[in-house]
Structure 1
C-alpha cells in the first residue's frame, strides 16, 4: 500500500452524550476502493462526515489527504481539503433550479473562485470539460434540463459527472444508489467506479450485490466500532479469497446467498453500465430476453460446466400484477406454477390437492419486551406469564388473508433444529400463577401495557387478539398503531417498551436468528429487546467456532432454550407459503428461502 489517504487513531465522536464513533485504528491507502457496511445507526454516515471535515472528533487523531482534522483547520486550508474531496449523498445536493450542465460546473468552483463563481460565469474550457463529463455518463442530451426535472438515476449521473469535472483525490459516496431500481443502480455504480479511477473511493453500501464493482475491501461498522475489516481478492478465475477477522463457521452458507455470488469485473464492464439488465452467471440457465413488466425468459446455458445440467431447455417467468392474477392464469392453464393467495388456500386443499405445494419460510412474528424498561426489566415471571397467556392458534386463524402457523419457539421449522415441540403453549392457570409470583395477582398493580405495532390490517388483528386474550388473565393491553417512520425511529432508539416485530432469516441456520436478535453485542441494532446473557453469548460464540454441524446445532438449540426461559420475546407465528404446481411438472421443490430448485425440474 502506498502512503495513506486516511489515518484514524483512537478516534471518538460524541454528540448529545451518545458515542457515535469509537474507532481504535483505521488506515486507507491512496487509490483504494473501500465499502462501509452496517445497520442503521452503526456510524456509517458519521464516519463520512468526519472525513470531509463536517464533524470534529471529540478525541483522537484524524488525518485526511495530509490534513490534520484533529484540530480546527484555518479556513483556507479547509477549503483546500474540500476541493480535493468529492461527495455523492443520498440527497444528491444538486440545485434543482439549475440545469444539469450548471450543476456539473459546480465541480469547478474550487478552481475558478472569485466573481466567476458568484455569477456562474465559467471559462469556455471548463464548459467544454463539463460537456465531456455529461457525455461520459450518457447525459449530454439532457444538459439544458433543470435538475428537478430529471429522474433519480439521471440526477445521480449528474453528480458523477460533477466528480469527473472536479477530479478529486478522495470520493465519499453515501448510499449513492439508495433510491434507484436494480438496473439503474448497476449503471450508476459502474460510472462511479470509472469516475474514481486513480482516486480513493469510500462508499457506504446497503446492497451487497454492488460490492464487487465498488470495493476491494469491506469495513463493517456496528455501534460506531469497526466490527470487521475484510480484504477481498480474486486469486484466480475460480477462487475468491476472503479474510475473516473472527471465527464464523456459517460463512460458507452466507456466501451461498444469491446476492453474494461473485462476478468478474470483466463481465461487469462488458455490460457497459447495464449489468442489472444483462446479468452474468455460471449456472444452468442464462438470460435470453427481458420484457419489462411482461416476462423474463431464461434459456439453457451451453457453457454450464456442472455435473448435472438442467432437464429443461428454458424457463419463462410471466409477470402479473398480484398473486390473484397469477393464480387465475394458473387455473386457466396459461402457466405451470403460480403463488396461491391465502384466501384461496382452503379451496385449493379441497378441490386441487394434487397441485397444492405448501412449505415453510424462514420468517418469525414476535412480540418483544424492552429488557431495560419497566415492568419487564427484573420480572422474568411477568414475561413468562404473557407467553403462557397467548393462544397462538387463534391468532393464526384470525389472519385469513395470510399464511401463518402457531409458533411456540423462536427458530422456524424451515431450518435445522427449528420448529420442534413448542416451549410455550396456552396455559391460563400457569399464566395466572406466574403473574402472582411477579407481584401482580389478578393484574393488581400492573399498569396498562402499550403494545406498539406498525399500522396495517394484519398487525391490527394480531394486536386486538393479544389484547383480548391477555384480558382473560386480567392484563390490560392497549394496542398502539404507529406510522412507518415513527415506528422505525422509536424501535431503533429503544423508546418502545412492548412492541411487535418480525425477523426473516437470510439462510436456513439458527445463527442467523439467534445471533442478531439476542447476542448482547447487537443491542441497539438487531437486538431490539436489549437482551443480554453471558451464557447465551458464550453458546452463540462457541457455535460460530465449531465446524462440526451437529455440535454447532446442539449449541444453538441450547441457546434457544435459555433465551426462551428468559422470555425477552413472545414467539407468535411462523410464516408459511403455498404455490400451485401443475402435475405435468416433475421434481418440483421450493426452499424455505422461497427459491425454486429449477435444476430438479422436468416435464412429465
Structure 2
C-alpha cells in the first residue's frame, strides 16, 4: 500500500532578523478594459548565458527558462509557509514507505508550444519526455553542471548508463531503459532510487528553470543551437533574443486553460488580498515580457524612474537612501503610486577560491593559512556599510536563510575582521616581505600575486576597492581581471581562475543544495571551488537519505565547521532585497526559491503613461 508523502508541505524557517515591508494591495482595476497588449518590462543586472536547462547555473538564464518550461511540481506562489503543489502532475507523488519508489501521474492534454521541430503538428507532453529530459543531464556530451543533482538522486541505472557512454566513447544510449527512470505508460512516470531519498521531489521534480520537460524532436532539430531555441509547455515562448541586450517573450498561444489559484495562510493579509483579487483569472495575465540587460546600476535605476520599466528587481544599493529613506518609500515615489517590496533574500554572496590553484588552493596548512588570512583581512561590516548601503546581513556560512541547515545563531571564526591575526598567520607560515618592498612573497621566496576575476559594473568596482584596500593592508599584491559575467562563469566552471565573487540564491527548501558547492563530485558544476574533502563528502552523502530532524541538523553543523576550517569559499552577506513596482504593475510578490512570477502579475493600462 503506497502512501502520499507527508514531507512536501513544510514550515518556512523563522528568521529573527528578517524584514518584510509591502504596501497594501492596490485598488481594483477600472471597469473599462483595454485591448492593447499588456507588456511587462524590466531589466536584468547581468547577461544571460543559454536557454538549455542542462547548461544553466546562472540566475538570469534560469528566469527565462522558468517561464518557458514546466516540470511536475511547483511552489505555491502565495503560500507562506512554503508548499509544493502539482503543476504537470495530477497529484503529489505516490511514495513507497522506504522512500525509494516515486510514482507520478501526469495530466493529459498538455501540449508543447508550436515549433518547426514538430512539422506543424500539435505535440502532447508524455511521461517519456521527462525520461528523455532527465537523461540529458546524464549525457556526458552535454557536460551538464547540474548532473550532480541527478547523481545525488541516485536513480537506479542512470550513473551506469552515463559511465558506459564515457568508457565506450559512443553516443549516450537514450533508448536503453533503466529501472530508475521509466514511463510505465503515456501518463505515468516512475522513479526508483538506490538509497532512500525523502526530498527527491524538491531535488529534481520541482523547478521549471532546470527540470522542465524538453521534447527530443526539438533537441535533435536544433542540435548545437538548442540553447537558442527553448521550447516547452510553459506560459511564454521566446520571441526574440539579442545576446546581452534584450530578450522578448510572448504569451504561449497554445497554453492550456490554467487559472490563478493559491493557498495563502489564513493570517496572511497580503496573500489573501491577492488571491481574492485575481482568483480564477486565466494565466498568464500579460501578453508580452521585454527584458533588457543593463549591467550598470544608474541606467537601470533611471530607466525605472522614467517609467521605461514596470518593475525594478533589487534596487541598487547606491540609491537606497534616495528611494527608501529611513526604511520607508520616499514621498515623491509614493505620490506616483510606486510600491516597495523588501525582504531578506534566501541567498548568500561568496568568494570562491580555486582549490586546484597552486597559490590559493590546496589543503596543506600553509595554503589554508593564506585563505584564512585573506578572509580575516576582508572587512565585511565595511562592505555592508559602504558598498551595500546597509542592505545586507553578514553571512556566517554558505547556507541561505529560510532553508534547512540555516541557523542565525551559528558563528564562524573566519567571519570576523582581524587584520593583526591575519598578518600573524602569514608570518607564521612563511609569507614574508623578504626584500623590504612592502609586499609579501611565497614561503619559497617566489612572487605572490593574487588574481581576482571581476566585472565592470559599479558594484563590482566598489567591491574591488574593498578587496584592494584589504590586500594592501595585508601586504599582498592583488591584480583584478575584468570580464563579462558569462565569461567569468565559464572560466570558473572550467577551473581557470584563482578567485571570483558570486551570489547564490536558494532554489529549494532543503539547505543541502547549498552544500553541493563543496561536494567533491560536483566539481566543475555547482562546486566552483573544486573542493574535495573526504570527511565532508561522507557527511554530505549521509545526509541525503536521512529524514529531517535533529540528527540531520547536527550533520549540517559539522559540514559548516569543515567549510569554515578549510575555507574554499569566503561567505560575505545575505542581501536585503528591495524591489520597486510602478503603480500600474499589479499582483507582484517576490518569489522565495522559485523564479517564475510573470504569469501572476497584471498591467493596468489606465495608470501607465
TM-score normalised over the length of structure 2: 0.51
For the residues of structure 2 that align with 1:502 and 1:312, how far apart are their CA atoms?
A: 36
- Pick from 314, 319, 335 the counterpart of residue 290 of structure 2: 319
Task: Tell me the TM-score normalised to structure 1 length.
Answer: 0.52
User: Per-residue displacement from partner, 1:342-393 (whole Å, max 9, x unpaired)?
Assistant: 1543322126268321231435331314256246531223321211110123
Segments of 5+ residues of structure 2 without an aligned counterpart are 1-51, 58-111, 124-131, 147-156, 219-228, 242-246, 264-274, 434-438, 605-609
Partner deviation per Cα, 1:505-544 (whole Å, 9 max, x = no partner): 44343222212x2122334554343322222111100111
**Are 1:39 and 1:525, in contact at CA under 8 Å, matched by a contact in 2?**
no
**1:413-492 equivalences in 2 (<5 Å):** 413-418=401-406, 420=408, 421-423=410-412, 424-440=415-431, 444-446=440-442, 447-457=447-457, 458-481=459-482, 491-492=492-493
The superposition leaves residues 169-220 of structure 1 with CA deviations (integer Å, 9 ceiling, x where unpaired) of xxxxxxxxxxxxx979x644789999xxxxx9997558999xxxxxx98955
Whole-angstrom distance in 2 between the partners of 1:248 and 1:546: 8
Taking the aligned partners of 2:484 and 2:304, their CA distance within structure 1 comes to: 36
Alignment partner of 1:339 is 2:313: yes
Mapping of residues 50-69 of structure 1, within 5 Å: none
Indicate the structure (1 or 2) with the bigger Cα radius of gyration.
1
- How far the C-alpha of 1:427 sits from its partner, in A, is 1.6
Aligned partner (choices 351, 358, 362) of residue 347 of structure 2: 362
Match of 1:44? none
More strand by share: 1
Aligned position for 1:166: none
Task: Mark the CA change 1:236 to 1:335 in structure 2 (over 3 Å): closer, same or farther.
Answer: farther
CA-atom RMSD in angstroms: 5.6
- The offset of 1:408, in angstroms, is 3.5
Unaligned runs of 5+ in 1: 1-34, 41-181, 195-199, 210-215, 269-275
* Contact 1:362-1:415 at 8 Å conserved across structures: no
Q: Secondary structure of 1:564's partner?
A: helix
Superposition pairs for residues 486-565 of structure 1, below 5 Å? 491-492=492-493, 494-515=495-516, 517-548=517-548, 551-565=551-565
Alignment of 1:570-585 (within 5 A): 570-581=570-581
**Partners of 1:362 and 1:593 within 8 A in 2:** no
Displacement of 1:302: 5.6
The CA distance in 2 between the partners of 1:485 and 1:320, in whole Å, is 17
Cα contact 1:366–1:569 (8 A) shared by 2: yes
Residue aligned with 2:572, SS:
strand
3-state SS in 2 of match to 1:319:
strand
Aligned equivalents of 1:514 and 1:223: distance in 2? 28
Relative to 1, partners in 2 of residues 1:340 and 1:245: Cα closer, same or farther, differing over 3 Å? same
Contact 2:348 2:504 in 1 (8 A): yes
Separation of aligned partners in 1, 2:460 and 2:488: 13
Count residues with an aligned counterpart.
406
Q: Is the 8 A contact 1:432 1:441 kept in 2?
A: no
Task: Identify the residue that residue 257 of structure 1 maps to in structure 2.
Answer: 207
Check conservation: 2:348, 2:398, Cα contact below 8 A: no
Residue of structure 1 in register with 2:369 after alignment? 381
Q: Which residue of 1 aligns with 2:33?
A: none
Do the aligned partners of 1:389 and 1:469 also contact (CA within 8 Å) in 2? yes
Give the counterpart of 2:324 among 349, 362, 385: 349
The within-5 A match list for 1:85-234 is 187-188=116-117, 220=162, 224=166, 232-234=181-183
1:303-342 CA-partner distances (Å, limit 9, x unpaired): 6698868526253265364688997797789998553541
Hey, what's the Cα distance between the residues in 1 that align with 2:382 and 2:340?
Answer: 24
Q: What CA distance in whole angstroms lies between the structure 1 residues aligned with 2:350 and 2:475? A: 24
- SS for the counterpart of 2:561 is helix
Contact 2:311–2:580 (Cα < 8 Å) also in 1:
yes
